[in-house]
Amino acid sequence: MTTRFAPSPTGLLHLGHAYAALVAHRLAHQHHGTFLLRFEDIDHTRVRPEFYVAIEEDLRWLGLTWQGAPLHQTDRLPAYAAALEQLNATQVLYPCFCTRRDIAEETARITNAPHGPEGPLYPGTCRALSADQRAALLAADTPHCWRLDAAAASQRLGPLTFRDQRHGEIPVDPALLGDVILARKDIATSYHLAVVVDDAFQHISLVTRGEDLLPATHVHRLLQGLLALPEPTYHHHPLILDANGQRLAKRDESQTIRSLRASGLSPEETIRRATVA
């Protein structure tokens, strides 16, 4: 078994991160497997160098160790570009020229606008463009992103499922998150594409993460099928919540590992809090 903890170096780790890391670490060691560390640092606008160091220090303070040097997604951009090209060759991508304002206005105009677990979905405006319209907009260097045509992907692959250790076998719903973005001009990949490519590259056999990402797994199984990548097993664990029942955020400094360390809390007590919070 190979698991991974994949934080974004855009802030300090909090108790929720500690719990996620502990789940992945413990499952790997219970099965005499391998635990890896990956930095999901493709969002260069928010990443800060000091957070790489802080994350590793906090994990070591908690007693967690990992095999080898951490993987940095910023070193993997050619791999994501190759995957995007492979997807484009299968005709399951299309360029989207909509701005956020365009999408909001179109969604407000549609009587039964598509919605997902976290709100309105992209209404598919640019999916309906003709080949000539797309070519003209691309030739004019119109700003755009690349979206996955979920319906086309599903038609190409047929029915899919994925297995979660807590929830069992789950049928893939291609429409759950709609036509997600797979690459932008400023960031030439996305979370969805990068995580799928990297999990295969690192031979991750068990993907552990919070259950808020359960909907994203529907997209990831589509991408695994389209790219002919291995299918891991999943373990979507409960989230650590604050006193108001809200998911912990990086802006809540009182719950960061660094803050708890400074207050005199021991690693053992911090782990206990992360486990039972």
Residue 96 has pLDDT above 70, yes or no: yes
CA distance 17 to 20: 5
| pLDDT average, residue stretch 91-106 | 94
pTM, two decimals, is 0.93
Assess if residue 233 is contained within a domain. Answer: no
Q: How confident is the model at residue 277 (pLDDT cuts 50, 70, 90)?
A: very low
Mode of pairing for the β-strands spanning 161-164 and 168-171: antiparallel
pLDDT at 53 over 50: yes
Q: Considering the chain, what percentage of its residues have pLDDT values greater than 90?
A: 83
Residues 57 and 130 in one domain: no
Mean pLDDT to the nearest integer, 6-28: 95
pLDDT tens readout for residues 227-269: 999 999 999 999 887 766 777 766 666 689 999 999 999 999 9
Q: What is the pLDDT of residue 254?
A: 60
My answer on whether 69 and 147 are in the same domain is no
Task: Provide CB contacts within 8 A for 57, sequence distance 6+.
Answer: none
234, part of any domain: no
Domain at 31, CATH number: 3.40.50.620
* Same domain as 99, residue 60: no
- 218 pLDDT band (50/70/90 cuts)? very high
Assigned domain for 212 exists: no
Q: 60 and 135: one domain?
A: no
CA atoms within 13 A on the CB side of 139: 6
So what's the pLDDT on residue 44? 86
Q: Count CB-CB contacts under 10 A for residue 168.
A: 8
Question: Residue 118: inside a domain, yes or no?
Answer: yes
Let me know whether 123 and 83 are in one domain. yes
| 40 and 102 both lie in a single domain | no
- Flag whether pLDDT at 176 surpasses 90: yes
Is the per-residue pLDDT at 185 higher than 90? no
Q: What integer is the mean pLDDT of 154-177?
A: 97
Q: Do 84 and 194 fall into the same domain? A: yes
Within-domain flag for 17: yes
Q: Whose structure tokens read 């979920």?
A: 150
At residue 134, does pLDDT exceed 80?
yes
Same domain? For 159 and 140 the reply is yes
100 shares a domain with 160: yes
Structural domain range at position 91? 76-200
Number of domains in the chain: 2
- pLDDT higher than 60, residue 276: no
Please check whether residues 271 and 170 belong to one and the same domain.
Answer: no
Q: Is residue 180 part of a domain?
A: yes
Assigned domain for 90 exists:
yes
Q: Which of 162, 200, 172, 180 is nearest to 80 (CA)?
A: 200
In a domain, 165, yes or no: yes
The predicted structure's pLDDT at residue 250 = 65
Task: State the CATH number of the domain containing residue 109.
Answer: 3.90.800.10
Same domain, 80 and 63: no
> Once rounded to an integer, what is the mean pLDDT over residues 56-81?
97
Both tokens assigned to 186:
């400023």
- Both tokens assigned to 178: 């709609």
Average confidence score pLDDT of the chain: 93
> Are 68 and 94 part of one and the same domain?
no
